Chain A
């Protein structure tokens, strides 16, 4: 209608639109700041924490929050604040690792399926269908149980169950662009299929894929923490939010609330922030958003 106005974000307008969106939506801005804080904590934690997260002191076990132990202590007398802070690195790291792995493999397979079609599409589609046929968390449990309890396997399992999400999205995005004239123009310019896909089409779908990825981060953390909660994955004494909630759950009725509330809150805040940022990113990048 009014073509002096473009509602599409393209290269070059991202930061301007980001500032605009941050001004409109204070909550998203707050989420970004909190997340930034968490990332700083995850990097600097070893130097910031008051106590050694592994230091056991049974005489100080299950103390409620005081000035010496701001978050209280757990059953083994370890300082919960230090453990929660150190765990930030592990939890956020696992989430980012799983999402990155899933993103790369999922986008790659989806793009190939969407571009070439035919039997490649059929095979990749069936693989993804198989993954989706399982209740995803159960599948993750199965993978970790089969491969062994380790942080790497949690990341792998979380990545695998998320593959279909990226793959199908990438497939449809590539499908839409495959028949556009700029692709034909690239063919006129001597680009063969794989080159076309990699350098001409995929860079175009990356912004929307990244939005999907950011929305996925919160889910990935919950998945990793959930696996640890039921005892698969991270082993004690490694500090990790899921394990800490699991250990603290035994104290729900006896009243030592600080053993699970603080790690739980860390999880909730992180997931919430990831989701808000994902929404914010989508508002900036999605061309159909309202001005």
Chain B
């Protein structure tokens, strides 16, 4: 078994707020190999974005982060001497939702790419412009010399996202985290951006984590998928395996609610109930009150992520 690039063990995140302590993430553990694309799928409130921010160290002071281990390329990121600040942006890179707002609106796009290149790379002032234009070419932006001088508001959403990708990849990171990169983009633009990301990732053998609420998107572009609900990982499996043999009732509900080219309205169902209140004391299975397969023993004891074989694990006492 090769050493994974990223290994997260028992990560928990809580926020202190006016309404109490919100236990946003609990007991998240997964590993990511080199060149692998991991999808983290969940609805709003699942904690998927918080997970990515926690890995990048972007949460603010009222976040309490606890983990047994967060190891990146063998380096421990969770401890007090974490070198996160120095490797962030260089080895570990991220692209965000709403690319236009993630870019500096009053700076030309080319300048912004140059800034990233010069901060992290062996790029000097004289060859920065050429390197920036090369980066724009790499993400297939047409007419890169002209676009170099553009401001973010002059570019479409899809192009802004490509600029973000160019910036994120400029230092050849080993891990790219993409947090809902195509939400808000047209579906045709989404296809282009996702295909671009897939090609670049394959070319460089970079690992990536794709965070999305779209199960179909994760199914098409990811090797493995983690399904999250209310701060817990409820299931993890290779994409094909998940689609064919999902085991957690929530995963089943998600698939049943996602329209495909072949479903009709009658086939579409929904998941009953709603997210539990994360400020209260929660049962070990946070899906308990929404589950139609609930059994008496689901309410007692600790429900842990258990392997099912085939690289497939599920957090459920009575998986499907």
CB neighbours of A4 from chain B (8 A): 22, 24, 45, 275, 277-279
- Cβ–Cβ contact A2 & B22, under 8 A: yes
Cβ-based interface call for B18 (8 A): yes
Q: Count residues on chain B whose CB falls below 8 Å from chain A CBs.
A: 18
A250 to B15, CA, bound (A): 59
Among B19, B45, B277, B279, the residue within 8 A (CB) of A3 is B45
- Cβ–Cβ contact A291 & B50, under 8 A: no
| Most chain A Cβ neighbours within 10 Å, of B18, B44, B50 | B18
Cβ-based interface call for A152 (8 A): no
For residues 1 through 28 of chain B, which have their beta carbon under 8 Å from a beta carbon of chain A? 15-19, 22, 24
Closest A residue to B59 by beta carbon equals A1
| Smallest CB separation, A145 vs chain B (Å) | 47
Cβ-based interface call for A247 (8 A): no
CB neighbours of A1 from chain B (8 A): 49-50, 53
CB neighbours of B279 from chain A (8 A): 4
CB neighbours of B126 from chain A (8 A): none
CB neighbours of B277 from chain A (8 A): 4
CB 8 Å contact bits of B41-82 with A (1 = contact, 0 = none): 000110101100100000000100000000000000000000
Closest A residue to B277 by beta carbon equals A4
A17 to B18, CA, bound (A): 8
- Cβ–Cβ contact A5 & B45, under 8 A: no
- Cβ–Cβ contact A2 & B15, under 8 A: yes
CB neighbours of B16 from chain A (8 A): 291
Cβ-based interface call for A187 (8 A): no
A120 to B175, CA, bound (A): 56
Cβ-based interface call for A20 (8 A): yes
- Residues A291 and B18 in contact in the complex (CB < 8 Å), given A1-B50, A1-B53, A4-B277: yes
- Cβ–Cβ contact A2 & B24, under 8 A: yes
Q: Count residues on chain A whose CB falls below 8 Å from chain B CBs.
A: 9
Closest A residue to B23 by beta carbon equals A4
CB 8 Å contact bits of B263-287 with A (1 = contact, 0 = none): 0000000000001011100000000
| Smallest CB separation, B63 vs chain A (Å) | 9
Among A3, A16, A20, A291, the residue within 8 A (CB) of B62 is A291
- Cβ–Cβ contact B15 & A5, under 8 A: yes
CB neighbours of B278 from chain A (8 A): 4
- Residues A291 and B45 in contact in the complex (CB < 8 Å), given A2-B50, A4-B22: no
CB neighbours of A291 from chain B (8 A): 16-18, 62
| Most chain B Cβ neighbours within 10 Å, of A1, A3, A16 | A1
- Cβ–Cβ contact B49 & A5, under 8 A: no
| Smallest CB separation, B124 vs chain A (Å) | 37
Closest A residue to B47 by beta carbon equals A2
- Cβ–Cβ contact A5 & B22, under 8 A: yes
| Smallest CB separation, B280 vs chain A (Å) | 11
| Smallest CB separation, B46 vs chain A (Å) | 10
CB neighbours of B18 from chain A (8 A): 16-17, 20, 291
CB neighbours of A20 from chain B (8 A): 18
A3 to B43, CA, bound (A): 11
Closest B residue to A21 by beta carbon equals B18
For residues 1 through 36 of chain A, which have their beta carbon under 8 Å from a beta carbon of chain B? 1-5, 16-17, 20
CB neighbours of A17 from chain B (8 A): 18
A125 to B44, CA, bound (A): 44
| Smallest CB separation, A269 vs chain B (Å) | 30
For residues 260 through 291 of chain A, which have their beta carbon under 8 Å from a beta carbon of chain B? 291
| Smallest CB separation, A19 vs chain B (Å) | 10
A20 to B18, CA, bound (A): 7
A115 to B17, CA, bound (A): 36
A48 to B223, CA, bound (A): 81
A291 to B16, CA, bound (A): 8
CB 8 Å contact bits of B83-126 with A (1 = contact, 0 = none): 00000000000000000000000000000000000000000000
Among B19, B47, B53, B275, the residue within 8 A (CB) of A5 is B19
- Cβ–Cβ contact B17 & A3, under 8 A: no
A3 to B231, CA, bound (A): 12
| Most chain B Cβ neighbours within 10 Å, of A1, A2, A291 | A2
| Smallest CB separation, B216 vs chain A (Å) | 23
For residues 215 through 262 of chain A, which have their beta carbon under 8 Å from a beta carbon of chain B? none
A50 to B24, CA, bound (A): 61
| Smallest CB separation, B225 vs chain A (Å) | 22
| Smallest CB separation, B262 vs chain A (Å) | 32
A5 to B47, CA, bound (A): 12
CB neighbours of B47 from chain A (8 A): 2
A5 to B279, CA, bound (A): 10
Other A-B contacts than A1-B50, A2-B22, A4-B45, 10 sampled, CB-CB below 8 A, are A1-B49, A3-B44, A4-B24, A4-B277, A5-B17, A5-B22, A17-B18, A291-B16, A291-B18, A291-B62
Task: Write 24 A-B pairs (CB below 8 A) sorted by A numbering.
Answer: A1-B49, A1-B53, A2-B15, A2-B22, A2-B45, A2-B47, A2-B50, A3-B44, A3-B45, A4-B22, A4-B45, A4-B275, A4-B277, A4-B278, A4-B279, A5-B15, A5-B17, A5-B19, A5-B22, A16-B18, A17-B18, A20-B18, A291-B17, A291-B18
